[in-house]
Amino acid sequence: MSKGITYSFHSITYIFLGLVLLLSGCQTSATDAVTAPTPFRISEAGLAASCPFLTKDQQGRVVLSWVQASDSLGNYLLTYAVSEDGDETFGTPRPIPTTKGVYPHDENLSKILFRQNGDIIAMFAVSNPREQNSYAGLVYYTQSFDKGRTWTEPRQLATNTQESIDERYFDMELLPDGEVAAIWLDSRKEDQAHGSSLYFARTKGREGFVGEKVIDSDLCQCCRTDLYLDEEGRLHVAYRGILNRQIRDMMYMVSADGGNSFSEPERISEDNWLIDGCPHTGPAMAATAGGMHFAWFTMGGGHGVYYARKANDKPFTKREVVSQAPAARHPQMAALSGGNLAIVWDEQAARQTAPNHQVGLQLRNGNGDFLHAKPITPDTLNAVYPVISPLSENRLLVAYTVKGTGATEVWCQVISAEAR
């Protein structure tokens, strides 16, 4: 990090954003049960920042990470901050020096994970342009065994570093035995037609990720993947697959043995989206007592963000609209401790003087029934790529990238979402 740059949470200026307006294309409730207190900027003023990600450390404290420019030349570092009081304030941001060269991409989202013993893994994307693919990238990870004071030299996620020339759109999850599982899209394929393979690996203590293997071999090459561990220890995987070389619909599989084996892939919804390209927007998952819940973007049989549920061994429910507003996409999802489900996404604002986007929030109960929805950012702000973390029974934290005329910034806010 260059000299003269000081990160301080206390220098963040709190800004009142005003009343939010109704979103076009999403359902609303007569009861205003969602309130959005004043948002605040967490990234350094005047320097480009994006790619927020929310998680919790081994003590249950909320952790917000993002990709932050370390100087005016566009050199980026993965940076994180820990909330000391539960949610509303964060400590001094901590840049991770071994992530130098991280590529800021809100869909190919860099992430940080805390193991129960206090070890930290930071996983991040870097650019790797090749003659075969000028947009290729690689995934690296670095570890800290002393609570973030020092970090190991970064290592490529793939074991076969000679053959793997394009790795992207990864996710990782903490397993019940304390190890960490990871999935990612990889260019290594037996069939060289367009598309990527889905790889899986897990850590072996502090040695890093080992035992990589292919778990599916025909995926949309530019949509994020999702890896989710439920309370019963089952590992769920969702991604955009390629069916019959033309259809790009959402797929799902599950492992009941920590990733040693996976179920056969199932299609979440028969959208039948025929597209010779990649939409750069992947799926989201969460679990409640009512089953597994899914949200995704498609333009097959209608455009927008959709929702479906799968209870136990039953089929997926018929998809329901979350939002069909223009450019509605990038959904994320979380289950609240009270049993309800929260979905966030971004979409083009309906009433505006500039081509801005808003973040919408929809609440459903544990069985997936719609409760209410409303925007949580105004149409005067260009807010995109929201991420979400539950705080309590009816409170959650949302972070997002704000695009302005100057540098992009990372903002966040606490949302009160009482179902009444």
193 pLDDT band, cuts 50/70/90, is: low
Is 22 part of a structural domain of the chain?
no
More confident residue, 161 or 237: 237
- Comparing C-alpha atoms, which of 174, 110, 28 is closest to residue 385? 110
Is 25 part of a structural domain of the chain?
no
Is 49 part of a structural domain of the chain?
no
Residue 71 has pLDDT above 70, yes or no: yes
Domain boundary among 280, 313, 338: 280
Residue 28 has pLDDT above 90, yes or no: no
Q: Both ends of the chain: CA-CA distance in Å?
A: 48
Per-residue pLDDT of 42-59, as tens digits, reads 999 889 999 999 999 999
Q: Are residues 352 and 380 in the same domain?
A: yes
The pLDDT > 70 percentage for the chain reads 89
pLDDT, residue 87, reads: 62
192 pLDDT band, cuts 50/70/90, is: low
Domain containing residue 213: CATH number: 2.120.10.10
Q: Are residues 259 and 407 in the same domain?
A: no
Residue 12 has pLDDT above 80, yes or no: no
Domain boundary among 232, 252, 280: 280
Per-residue pLDDT of 355-374, as tens digits, reads 899 999 999 999 999 999 99
- Comparing C-alpha atoms, which of 366, 360, 277 is closest to residue 321? 360
Q: Are residues 255 and 300 in the same domain?
A: no
Give, in order, the Cα–Cα distances in Å from 98 to each of 7, 85, 95, 151, 210.
18, 28, 9, 7, 21
DSSP 295: E
Residue 5 has pLDDT above 90, yes or no: no
Q: Are residues 270 and 358 in the same domain?
A: no
Compute the distance between CA of residue 264 and CA of residue 153 in angstroms, rounded to an integer. 37
Domain count within the chain: 2
Domain boundary among 249, 280, 311: 280
- Comparing C-alpha atoms, which of 285, 215, 277 is closest to residue 248? 277
Residue 66 has pLDDT above 90, yes or no: yes
pLDDT, residue 101, reads: 92
pTM above threshold 0.85: yes
Residue 376 has pLDDT above 90, yes or no: yes
Q: Which domain holds residue 393?
A: 287-419
Q: Are residues 133 and 239 in the same domain?
A: yes
pLDDT, residue 24, reads: 37
Is 43 part of a structural domain of the chain?
no
pLDDT, residue 11, reads: 35
* Mean pLDDT estimate for the chain: 88
Residue 60 has pLDDT above 60, yes or no: yes
Is 38 part of a structural domain of the chain?
no
Q: Are residues 139 and 264 in the same domain?
A: yes
pLDDT, residue 280, reads: 87
Residue 4 has pLDDT above 50, yes or no: no
DSSP 338: T
Q: Are residues 142 and 216 in the same domain?
A: yes
Q: Are residues 67 and 186 in the same domain?
A: yes
Per-residue pLDDT of 290-331, as tens digits, reads 999 999 999 999 999 999 999 988 999 999 999 999 999 999
Q: 134: how many CB neighbours lie within 10 A of its CB?
A: 9
- Of 10-14, 181-185, 339-343, minimum mean pLDDT range: 10-14
- Of 60-74, 207-221, 237-251, minimum mean pLDDT range: 60-74
- Comparing C-alpha atoms, which of 311, 254, 323, 251 is closest to residue 283? 251
pLDDT, residue 7, reads: 32
Is 39 part of a structural domain of the chain?
no
Map residue 91 onto helix, strand or coil: coil
The owner of tokens 């990871």 is 182
Q: Are residues 337 and 407 in the same domain?
A: yes
Is 159 part of a structural domain of the chain?
yes
More confident residue, 266 or 12: 266
Q: Are residues 254 and 358 in the same domain?
A: no
86 pLDDT band, cuts 50/70/90, is: low
Is 184 part of a structural domain of the chain?
yes
36 pLDDT band, cuts 50/70/90, is: low
Q: Are residues 271 and 292 in the same domain?
A: no
Mean pLDDT for 137-163 is: 94
- Of 21-35, 162-176, 210-224, 394-408, minimum mean pLDDT range: 21-35
Q: Are residues 249 and 370 in the same domain?
A: no
